[in-house]
Structure 1
Amino acid sequence: MPMASYDHLFQKLESQFLLDRAQMAPIVKGFIAEYQSGLKTPSKGIASMIPSFVTSLPTGNETGTFLSLDLGGTNLRVNAVELLGNGEVNIVENKRLATTELKEGTGEAFFDWIADTIKELVTEKASHLFSADQVSGKEALALGVCWSFPVDQTALDKGTLLKMGKGFVMSGVLGRDLADLFHEAFERKNMNVRVCALLNDTVGTLVAHAYANPRTRIGFIYATGCNAAYPEKVANIGKWDEQFRSQFNPEDEMLINTEIDIFGDDTYLPRTKYDLELCQNHSQPDFQPWEKMMSGAYLGELTRLVCLDFIKEGALFDGVVPAGWDKPWSFQTVMMSSIERDNTETRNKSTELLQETYDFASKPTKEDIQVITRICRIVSTRGAIMVAIAIASMIEKQQLHTKDSNSIVIGLNGSTYEFYPYMDDRVHKALRTWFGVEVSERIRIEIAREGGSIGGALIAMLAK
């Protein structure tokens, strides 16, 4: 049946997902209120607006070679980062897989493994970037650590290691100072390396992109998950007592890890029945409500749920649910991306992709693919609107749109933004809806890469 026959279904879906400016307004206002609240609430347990202790951004003219370390859920990346000035860098990397044995062993063995990886980088792979005294250990090397796990940070180079997750259950590390664990391993390995900075990957993204473009004022990650960082006046960090704040000039700006992924509640989020169903069936149903509406981890599942309704209405697959379609999380965001990218006349690629994943009573028609493509476009466009709302709220929090007429630069990293088709255009369109043409044309969203490596090295440099 022609897609036009189901216009009423699409109109209903679009009214729920495609937010206009009036519908965006409560969310922008809600985010700004959460920034204010988070700045006053101590950073314990599940927290937002976490101070990074980084109080300066690079100019792009810095030079020298520094070490950085980036530990994620799977890989350890240790880098020698040569800052060449003029926003240019040269990176030599030593990459290792964090095995289950290491994740479940002793903390001593784990940090010794990290120290060995650094030692190999300095003495072999990147020895040409360091002086003879640095290679031999006569001169200390500065290390910036991008640690993508919870840390209760108390200084730029101090922080208590909290429960890590992602399979990391090493013994003897919980409640220890992270820098101490590194330094003890360096001592065991007779290495002269000092941890100068601990940083979150979002802060690293902001700092790294500021080296390439000093006008950068927001660091944003839009991938499987979502997070953001921006500079905030120290005087506004109400969670600190006066004794703590007195270490800094009140007019200093400190980079804040917003942990924006945990924002949102039903007082201002326009959640649909699909959002609520996804949440109810999630292992953490009341956690990260906003992120569940827009990040790469969830767009595919939302699309699957919408398609189920269209199937029940007879608008897809002749009203027959394909075997496997009722399996939660079986339809992934990467499939949406492939389907939206398929502009061929026959849509054979999309048909083959669906048939590889599900068992159909009869082969999906070209009209079926058109219906799914339109659903994907609607769901992903709301994701773009939610990204724009978050960016708009940080622009307004800093008053970047009214301070001057300069470009407003956002360093953005993440697969959902970079590789999902038309996502950049959709984010810009939503920003234009919110700010109008004059301001939105000043907003520059630039791809930021190597936040953990370049950002870690830069913050180590700034600290030193």
Structure 2
Amino acid sequence: MESQVYDTPDDIIHGSSTRLFDHVADCLGDFMEKQNIKDKNLPVGFTFSFPCAQTKLNEAVLVTWTKKFKVSGVEGMDVVKLLNKAIKKRGDYEADIMAVVNDTVGTMMTCGFDDQRCEVGIIIGTNACYMEELRHMDLVEGDEGRMCINTEWGAFGDDGSLEDIRTEFDREIDRGSINPGKQLFEKMASGMYMGELVRLILVKMAKEGLLFEGRITPELLTKGKIETKHVSAIEKSKEGLNKCMEILTRLGVEPSDEDCLAVQHVCTIVSFRSANLVAATLGGILIRLKENKGVARLRTTVGIDGSLYKMHPQYARRLHKTVRRLVPDSDVRFLLSESGSAKGAAMVTAVAYRLSDQARQIQQTLAEFRLTKAQLLEVKKRMRTEIERGLKKESQEEATVKMLPTFVRSTPDGTENGDFLALDLGGTNFRVLLVKIRSGKRRTVEMHNKIYAIPIEVMQGTGEELFDHIVYCISDFLDYMGMKSARLPLGFTFSFPCHQTSLDAGTLVNWTKGFKATDCEGEDVVELLREGIKRKEEFDLDVVAIVNDTVGTMMTCAYEEPTCEVGLIAGTGSNACYMEEMRNIEGVEGDEGRMCVNMEWGAFGDNGCLDDIRTQYDCAVDENSLNEGKQRYEKMCSGMYLGEIVRNILIDLTRRGFLFRGQISETLKTRGIFETKFLSQIER
């Protein structure tokens, strides 16, 4: 890691925003020139160690200045925009500021690189950050995962909550500061004010004759003459008293050995209080983490930095000991940030840059699925073309949208009455129903049903095995209802493409949705059912109608809403039906009235008319299906295939290193493992 430190003069710290950010831009330009990287547009991480409101990683609006800074025209402004403006004004280099982080966040990220348990960052300072559960953060959308919170605990006590422990010396420090009434905790605990606290105590003790035989020199009365580094030097175990003698002599007070011991004791009390205060506030964070995790004993790492922690001979030990005493049910490792917060800022920037690039590539990958209005209008136009081809006698054979007549000529009018048996076959489950319809002033529909599984070996076995299984299920249901001796009219919902010549006859065109039973395509499925009933020789039924599930849906809804004239299924499969004018159905004689047409639009696109909007993932799903090249539209939008499309996308993104650390699990390689119901659960 290459670095360089630049001074920030007092006239800039108390000057204008233009001067400050011009200075930062000049320092950045000088460093880039020395590193011979001025011609590169590199991503930049900006450690800005002041309270900021952030709505995103590369935006930070300064809330208030702290730590002796009082630059005009910055509070309430986005510091990224101000720095970008200064860089642009120079015009001799470019920089892409991708992340603004607080120094505590930078410290946590730096230490987190070495210890993945690190979830707290502290600067003494003083400030802290930690990883909070998103569900507790009302200001940020989302409930899943965690986000780093910059506590800005330097302002703790600004509401008066620490008045009972603030001393007269704390109040005097505050009155003499550039921000009275603000950052009160910081003024009690941070290294910036510790030396001054000691000086004020020594002045009072000297005035009361407790030190230096009452001598008070101009040097002792001068603000800033005792620095925090002097406190650290005085508290060293061996040479501390000698250092104390040197420092006090420079202040002209002619100290005795007893004076030096007393001053050393004052330094110890002030620095120990700081360590105790920081330990107490850190304890609050640790308890929060423990409660969030719901564990009996917390194990965590605290990344820590700051000159007071690093340079003071006793501070770290005192802090650790007090934390253990205040939070005994925790195992806390303190990890010193050797590279400071800048390395962490670079890491945040590197992650942001990587995620930004990944997000861009992921968006490019998924862009094919975002169909524009113009594309959708074109799909609508092509569907209209296929509808016309399916309705015309000379083109129906080649049409992908078959537009199959159902011989259902009207929708319910409310006069229907009686008990009916219904079958519903269209997926991995088979349903048998008893439907009791009562007409009159108070129309009622009472239904009893049982659901039976269709094993995969039956779905893809012989036709005889399939229909024997169906008849077995009917027999079980009739036993269940105690109606085996009754000969009921039966309606058969058969959700596969059929060519019908009458209401009770339907020749299977081809299987879809994973079915592959042999000796069925080209056969009348009503006859196959009747033959199965004969083989069983236990009951008899009067098969009155065979309908597609879309037709059944339309008829069900039309019973409640007479204006219903379209049925749509968006489930395991995808299909639609509607009431068409007889004059437009060239395959059926007669021009008067209307008839329901089963579109069988799942095959839309089998002629290549949708190839321009099919993705590589649609093609992969098709290639590995039971009926490659068929039902292409259904494979793009039906529930049976959505999970498989997502699985193929996940595999591709993982292979490219965007997900799961580039590791494709054996489970993810399994076809069908990512079910469509997972999508529904994930998108709730």
State the TM-score, normalizing by the size of structure 2.
0.45
Alignment correspondent of 2:358: none
CA distance in 2, matches of 1:196, 1:151: 16
Match of 1:454 among 328, 343, 346: 343
Q: For 1:342 and 1:161, how far apart are their aligned partners in 2?
A: 42
CA distance in structure 2 between the aligned counterparts of 1:339 and 1:378, rounded to whole angstroms: 12
Aligned to 1:422: 314
Q: Which amino acid aligns with 1:454?
A: K
> Secondary structure of 2:3's match?
strand
Answering whether residue 194 of structure 2 is matched by residue 302 of structure 1, we say no
| Residues 124 and 305, structure 2, Cα contact 8 Å, conserved in 1 | yes
1:156 is matched with: 57
In our comparison, the structure showing a higher alpha carbon Rg is 2
Q: Rate the CA distance shift 1:170–1:114 in 2: closer, same or farther, 3 A.
A: farther
Contact residue 411 and residue 447 of structure 1 kept, 8 A: yes
Distance 1:368 1:98 in 2: 37
Given that residues 339 and 373 in structure 1 are in contact (C-alpha distance below 8 angstroms), is that contact kept between their aligned partners in structure 2?
A: yes
Equivalent residue number for residue 422 of structure 2? none
SS in 1 for 2:181: coil
Which protein, 1 or 2, shows the higher relative CO under an 8 Å CA cutoff with sep ≥ 6? Answer: 1
Distance 1:142 1:405 in 2: 40
**Residues 99 and 352 in structure 2, CA contact (< 8 A), matched pair in contact too:** yes
Q: Give how far 1:192 is off.
A: 6.2
Residue 174 of structure 2: SS of its match in structure 1? helix
Q: Distance in 1 between matches of 2:93 and 2:172?
A: 53
Q: In the alignment, residue 113 of structure 1 is paired with which amino acid?
A: D
Q: Identify if the C-alpha distance between structure 1 residues 344 and 316 changes in structure 2 by more than 3 Å, giving closer, same or farther.
A: same
Aligned counterpart in structure 2 of residue 215 of structure 1, from 117, 135, 159: 117
> Any residues of structure 2 matched to 1:40-439 within 5 Å, and which?
91-97=1-7, 113=26, 116-117=29-30, 119-120=32-33, 124=36, 137=40, 141-149=42-50, 151-160=52-61, 166=69, 168=71, 175=77, 178-179=80-81, 181-182=83-84, 185=87, 189=91, 193-223=95-125, 226-238=126-138, 240=139, 245-246=140-141, 249-264=142-157, 265-268=159-162, 269-341=164-236, 343-344=238-239, 347-357=241-251, 359-360=252-253, 363-399=254-290, 403=295, 405=297, 407-436=299-328, 439=330
Separation in 2, partners of 1:301, 1:96: 25
| Pair 380,188 (structure 1): closer, same or farther in 2 beyond 3 Å | closer
In structure 2, distance between residues paired with 1:375 and 1:448? 29
What CA distance in whole angstroms lies between the structure 1 residues aligned with 2:124 and 2:24?
30
How many angstroms does 1:267 deviate by? Answer: 3.5
Question: Does the CA-based 8 Å contact 1:293-1:383 persist in structure 2?
Answer: yes
Change (3 A) 1:402 1:303: farther
- Is contact 2:21–2:82 with CA below 8 Å preserved after alignment? no
Q: Is the 2:129–2:148 Cα contact (8 Å) retained in structure 1?
A: yes
Structure 2 gap segments, 5+ residues each? 354-684
Verify the 8 A CA contact 1:388 1:431 in the aligned structure 2: yes
1:76-124 deviation line (CA, Å, top 9, x unaligned): xxxxxxxxxxxxxxx12355455668976568955763563464266x2
Q: Mark the CA change 1:150 to 1:388 in structure 2 (over 3 Å): closer, same or farther.
A: closer
Question: Offset of 1:344 from its aligned partner?
Answer: 4.6
Q: Which moved more, 1:424-433 or 1:375-384?
A: 424-433
1-side partners of 2:267 and 2:217: how far apart?
A: 18
Root mean square deviation, CA, Å = 3.5
Q: How much identity, in percent, do the aligned residues show?
A: 26
How far apart are 1:190 and its partner, in Å?
7.1
Q: 1:190 to 1:298 in 2, by over 3 A?
A: closer
Give the C-alpha shift of residue 395 in structure 1.
0.3
Give the deviation of 1:142 after TM superposition. 2.5
TM-score (norm 1): 0.64
Distance 1:255 1:451, change over 3 A: farther
Q: Which amino acid aligns with 2:337?
A: A
The unaligned stretches of length 5 or more in structure 1 are 1-90, 128-134
Decide whether the 8 Å contact of 1:302 with 1:379 is kept in 2.
yes
Instruction: Write the distance in 2 (CA, Å) between the matches of 1:267 and 1:107.
Output: 34
Which letter maps to 1:397? Answer: R
CA contact (8 A) 1:161 1:178 kept: no
Q: Distance in 1 between matches of 2:203 and 2:43?
A: 54
User: In structure 2, the residue corresponding to 1:298 is in which secondary structure?
Assistant: helix
Are residues 174 and 295 of structure 1, via their aligned partners in 2, closer, same or farther at CA, if it must alter by over 3 Å?
closer
Q: Residue 323 of structure 2 aligns to a residue in which SS? A: helix
Give the residue type in structure 2 aligned to 1:237: M
Deviations 1:388-424 (A, max 9, x none): 0111011011117962646321111001111112111
Q: Secondary structure at the match of 1:330?
A: coil
Q: Distance in 1 between matches of 2:279 and 2:110?
A: 22
Q: Which amino acid aligns with 2:266?
A: I
User: What's the secondary structure of 1:194's corresponding residue?
Assistant: strand
Q: Is the 8 A contact 1:162 1:174 kept in 2?
A: yes
Q: Does the CA contact (< 8 Å) of 1:94 and 1:117 recur in 2?
A: no
User: Alpha-carbon deviation of 1:273?
Assistant: 2.8
Taking the aligned partners of 1:364 and 1:275, their CA distance within structure 2 comes to 25
Contact 1:183/1:194 (<8 A) preserved? no
Query: Within 2, Cα distance between the matches of 1:296 and 1:177?
Result: 26
The C-alpha deviation readout for 1:195-233, integer Å capped at 9, x for no partner, is 22121111111111111111111100004xx11111112
Aligned length: 345
> Cα–Cα, structure 1 residues 335 and 399, in superposed 2: closer, same or farther, change >3 Å?
same
